Amino acid sequence: MADDPTFGVSPADDGIPAHLRHHGDEDVADGLVDLAVNVRLPAPPPWLRTQLVAGIDTLAAYPDTREATKAVAARHGRPLDEVLVTAGAAEAFSLLARALRPRNAVIVHPQFTEPEVALRSAGHPVSRVLLSADDGFTLNPHAVGEAADLVVVGNPTNPTSVLHPAETLLALRRPGRVLVVDEAFADAIPGEPESLAGQRIPGVLVFRSLTKTWGIAGLRAGYVLGDPLLVERLRAVQPPWSVSTLAGLAVVACSGAEAAVEADELTAEAERDRAFLVDGLRELGVRVAGKPRAPFILITVADGERVRLRLRELGYAVRRGDTFPGLSTDWLRVAVRDRHTTRGFLDALRLALKE
Ligand SMILES: Cc1ncc(COP(=O)(O)O)c(C=O)c1O
């Protein structure tokens, strides 16, 4: 044992509760219809697949993200030094935690837990502002204390599906404070309203993901936009070649004109599919949180743990809510899928609620 270099080192000893590391993919199992993971497409679209397959022949060379950086800069109308291509939005949170030394980081919850895990893993103190279901999980910028030197907020927020107004986010800015807006799902809303991606604002970083809309969660592709001084600090701690050649190709392809047309169609369809799901839930008397805008919704049901487990028996995996700070087992997150899948889910839910 003493020769084992990992002896005495337990990843569980870092003081971070295990539930913060829970992600929707763990709620899925073989044979279940997946309403737990928010990746919209079941596979990359054919035009993207073709480019990825062609890219295999270039894999002998080390990756170079210059083309991807240019493509993102062009898509959002920003200069190159305001862009950092990353291995998904998740990598951006690790870079943030390594690059900055916040003394009063504040995370607006309930939200994706990876920012909190990344910051706490790097030893930074983190406090939480918990939004309330009674207010539809809307954000009052005054709820964030003046001492906060780093604020992380999701827009639209996972899991509440709430889209905060850009002016509410901008009201969070303070001298000496970094504001990070996680826009991992912004490209899933037609026209990307309330996005700060195209605006040059000192002290603000926007994190974006390409994995959900384009069905490439396994590829890891995203980027950071924002204040060039902050972007440079993140760039300085990014491991070499962390964005693979294929991820770089995906970033170029998904930032182009063809992708923009398809994205518009996908988002319009997702809006219709979400309305169908929400109407069906309301018919069942199920409460839907806030005003949903993302390709997933948050619902609350009595005896939620039993309902979730019964849904699994009936063949449907939904995302448990209780691992998100501020939520209990009575909250469940449901991904927006096509009408056929949603009909099946609503039938199963009707049964699960009756029993
Ligand atoms: C809100 C939010 N931000 C970021 C991410 C990570 O995205 P990526 O796949 O680009 O790392 C996720 C993934 O679930 C998410 O839900």
DSSP string, 106-128: EEEESS-SHHHHHHHHTT--EEE
The answer to whether the beta carbons of residues 203 and 196 sit under 8 Å apart is no
User: Do 222 and 205 fall within a single domain?
Assistant: yes
Q: What is the mean pLDDT of residues 11-26?
A: 81
296 Cα: distance to centroid of ligand 1 (angstroms): 13
For 12, phi then psi, to 5°, come to: -80, -5
pTM, entire model: 0.95
Q: How far apart are CA 50 and CA 27, in angstroms?
A: 31
Distance 212 CA to ligand 1 centre (A): 8
- Whether residue 209 has its Cβ less than 6 Å from ligand 1: yes
The distance in angstroms from the start CA to the end CA of the chain is 52
Question: What is the domain extent for residue 235?
Answer: 46-258
pLDDT band at residue 41, thresholds of 50, 70 and 90?
A: confident
Q: Which of 225, 258, 291 is the last residue of a domain?
A: 258
Give the tens place of pLDDT for each residue, 157-188. 999 999 999 999 999 999 999 999 999 999 99
- Which one of 193, 227, 258 terminates a domain? 258
Here the CATH number for the domain that contains residue 290 is 3.90.1150.10
Q: Per-residue pLDDT for 192 more than 80?
A: yes
Name residue, tokens 């406090």: 127
Question: Residue 1: inside a domain, yes or no?
Answer: no
Q: Domain boundary at 207, 231, 258, which?
A: 258
pLDDT value for 30? 85
Q: In angstroms, what is the span from residue 183 Cα to ligand 1's centroid?
A: 9
- Is the distance from the beta carbon of residue 217 to the nearest atom of ligand 1 less than 6 Å? yes
Ligand 1 atom nearest to 91, measured from its CA: 11
* pLDDT above 80 for 8: no
* pLDDT in the model for residue 10: 47
Q: Give the confidence band of 22 by pLDDT, cuts at 50, 70, 90.
A: confident
Q: For position 13, what pLDDT does the model report?
A: 62
20/117 same-domain check: no
- What domain count does the chain have? 2
Query: Do both 56 and 205 map to the same domain?
Result: yes
In a domain, 124, yes or no: yes
Which residues share a beta bridge with 150? 105, 178
Residue 63's pLDDT band (boundaries 50, 70, 90)?
very high
Looking from the CA of residue 24, the nearest atom of ligand 1 is 14
* CATH number assigned to the domain comprising residue 108: 3.40.640.10
At 2 the pLDDT is 41
Mean pLDDT, the chain, whole residue set:
95
Answer whether 94 contacts ligand 1 (Cβ < 6 A): no
Is the pLDDT score of 257 beyond 80?
A: yes
* 62 and 206 fall within a common domain: yes
Q: Does 3 reside within a domain?
A: no
* Residue 88 Cβ < 6 Å to ligand 1: yes
Q: What percent of the chain has pLDDT over 90?
A: 90
> Per the domain annotation, does 2 fall within a domain?
no
Say if residue 171 is in the same domain as residue 154: yes
- What was the pLDDT predicted at 11? 54
Q: How far is the CA of 355 from the centre of ligand 1 (A)?
A: 35
At residue 7, does pLDDT exceed 50? no
Signed CA dihedral, 93, 97, 100, 103: sign only: positive
- For 76-106, the pLDDT digits (tens) are 999 999 999 999 999 999 999 999 999 999 9
Residue 89, ligand 1, Cβ within 6 A: yes
Contact predicate 274/336, CB 8 Å: yes
Residue 299: pLDDT over 50: yes
Same domain, 289 and 186: no
What is the pLDDT at residue 12? 54
DSSP-derived pairing of the beta strands 204-209 and 222-226: antiparallel
Q: Are residues 214 and 279 in the same domain?
A: no
Instruction: Report the pLDDT value the prediction gives residue 40, as an integer from 0 to 100.
Output: 83
Number of H helices, E strands in the chain: 10, 12
Q: CB-hemisphere CA count at 13 Å for 154?
A: 28
Contact 195, 154 (CB under 8 A): no
| DSSP state for residue 332 in the 8-state scheme | E
Q: What is the pLDDT of residue 71?
A: 98
Which residue of 41, 112, 155, 160 sits with most ligand 1 atoms within 8 Å of its CB, as the best mutation to test the pocket?
Answer: 112
pLDDT greater than 70 at residue 282: yes
- Residue 1 has a pLDDT of 40
For residue 113, the CA-to-ligand 1 centroid distance in Å is: 10
Q: Please give the number of the atom of ligand 1 that sits closest to the Cα of 221.
A: 10
Same domain, 254 and 266: no
CA 89 to ligand 1 center in whole angstroms: 6
Same domain, 222 and 165: yes
pLDDT at 345 over 60: yes
Query: Is residue 8 domain-resident?
Result: no
> Please, which residues bridge with residue 333 across strands?
298, 319
Residue 170 inside a domain? The answer is yes
Q: Is there a domain that residue 199 lies in?
A: yes
Q: Is the domain of 210 the same as that of 65?
A: yes
Whether 249 and 344 map to the same domain: the answer is: no
Judge whether 196 and 166 are in contact, CB under 8 Å.
yes
Ligand 1 mutation pick, 94, 157, 158, 187, max ligand atoms within 8 A of CB: 158
Distance CA 119, CA 248 (A): 26
Does residue 10 lie within any of the structural domains? no
pLDDT for the residue numbered 81: 98
Q: Do residues 91 and 200 share a domain? A: yes
Q: Which among 172, 181, 121, 115 is positioned nearest to 149, based on CA atoms?
A: 172
Please give the distance, rounded to the nearest whole angstrom, from the Cα atom of residue 110 to the centre of ligand 1. 14
Mean pLDDT comparison of 36-40, 52-56, 260-264, highest-scoring range? 52-56
* Residue 310 near residue 350 (C-beta atoms within 8 A): no
